[in-house]
Amino acid sequence: MNSAVFERAALKALMALPGPVLDRLSAGLETLGRSHLDSRIRFLLALSSAKPTLNSGTVGQARALYRQVIELLDVAERPLPVVVDHQVPGAQGHSLLVRRYRPAQAPRLAPAILFFHGGGFTVGSVEDYDRVCRYIAERTGAVVLSVDYRLAPEHPSPVAADDCLAAWQWLLANTAELGLDPARLAVMGDSAGGNLSAVVSQQAALAGLPVPALQVLVYPTTDGALAHPSIQNLGQGFGLDLPLLTWFRSHFIQDEKLVEDYRVSPLRNPDLAGQPATLLITATDPLRDEGLAYGEKLREAGVSVSSLDFPRLVHGFFTMGGVIPAAKAALDAICDATANHI
């Protein structure tokens, strides 16, 4: 048994302990009061305090560590009848990988979800999110297309946003060939991917392109300033600490003037009329306030916004469904709400 398999098996065994037992163990390990969280999330946070953080080494080391964490926590891989890699035109002539997942139950003219992974615009990949994208496709019955946009610091903002808009343009141009319903196209992403989903919807409108039928924003970052109250209030001990947020920001915002750019800070766009119906997901998370602020601004613009709040979960739960039952239930709720909207 290799170390990753052993660690996953050991963690699953620990997570099978009764909640009160995990709460007692957590109380002996943690220095912050987190009793309001799910018992297994709380214990995982207590364990992770002894692990290296993403910002403790090089960017390459962070990418490898992020991959290991997702491999440890994410849902199991599911076989699907169609998993195909496409090379599509990105921004500035760059070629982008887009991986297409088509589940067995997808109709001949299927709904589709263009998916953007999280990772602070610095870590994460199509490969890292392969298992959760398979799960989303199977649970929703939609075709999922996962975009390998370019990462900072090699490619700082707004490169990722421009790549993702190019992927949206490719999808619009190829719905017939891919067997997709052009009236039932959604965008979805977690954290940085939530930002990119909002940005694609906005930039599509600004470019005169069709906007998605739905945007699913999972604990999105919507403002580059890191100034909302929850950044400070929840910026220590809840899985996404302020030093890590600052580290990510130093890589993807290399020109302070870009904070005002809607491709970085979609919350700053004063005109959100005509944006797609929105499914907004929040948790106990430093990004909570800017996500809620974006939802409120969309509502003020007349956009339909449905909210799912998971206060017993923390940032990153989207890829914890393999070992945290409450995270799996939240993932299911997100998938089911998405399927009901497209």
Is the bond preceding residue 89 a cis peptide, omega within 30 degrees? no
**For residues 145 and 103, is the Cβ–Cβ distance under 8 A?**
no
What residues does 229 pair with on adjacent strands? Answer: none
**Position 19 confidence tier, pLDDT thresholds 50, 70, 90:** confident
**Position 315 confidence tier, pLDDT thresholds 50, 70, 90:** very high
Residue 60 clears pLDDT 90, i.e. is over it = yes
Percentage of the chain modeled with pLDDT above 70: 96
Question: What is the Cα–Cα distance from 271 to 287, expressed in whole angstroms?
Answer: 22
What residue segments make up the domains of the chain, in order of their start?
3-51, 71-341
| Strand bridging mode 143-147 / 95-102 | antiparallel
Report angle CA 157, 64, 237 to the nearest 5 degrees. 80
**For residues 114 and 188, is the Cβ–Cβ distance under 8 A?**
yes
Q: Mind spelling out the 3-state secondary structure of the chain? A: CCHHHHHHHHHHHHHCCCHHHHHHHHHHHCCCCCCCCCHHHHHHHHHHCCCCCHHHCCHHHHHHHHHHHHHHHCCCCCCCCEEEEEEEECHHHCEEEEEEEECCCCCCCEEEEEEECCCCCCCCCCCCCHHHHHHHHHHHCCEEEEECCCCCCCCCCCHHHHHHHHHHHHHHHCHHHHCEEEEEEEEEEECHHHHHHHHHHHHHHHCCCCCCCEEEEECCCCCCCCCCHHHHHCCCCCCCCHHHHHHHHHHHCCCHHHHHCCCCCHHHCCCCCCCCEEEEEEEECCCHHHHHHHHHHHHHCCCCEEEEEEEEEECCHHHCCCCCHHHHHHHHHHHHHHHHHC
More confidently predicted of 35 and 5: 35
Residue 35 clears pLDDT 60, i.e. is over it = yes
pLDDT, average across residues 119-138: 98
pLDDT, average across residues 196-217: 98
Query: In CATH, what number does 71-341 get?
Result: 3.40.50.1820
Residues in the chain: 342
Closest CA to 19 of 330, 329, 324: 324
Q: How far apart are the first and last CA of the chain?
A: 42
Report angle CA 43, 191, 131 to the nearest 5 degrees. 70
Question: What is the Cα–Cα distance from 168 to 176, expressed in whole angstroms?
Answer: 14
Catalytic residues: 191, 285, 315
Label residue 56 left, alpha or beta by phi (over 0 means left) and psi (-120 to 50 means alpha): alpha
267: Cα separation from own chain's centroid: 17
pLDDT of residue 22: 80
pLDDT of residue 4: 61
**What pLDDT, in 10s, does the model give residues 216-246?**
999 999 999 999 999 999 999 999 999 999 9
Average pLDDT value over all residues in the chain: 94
**For residues 272 and 304, is the Cβ–Cβ distance under 8 A?**
no
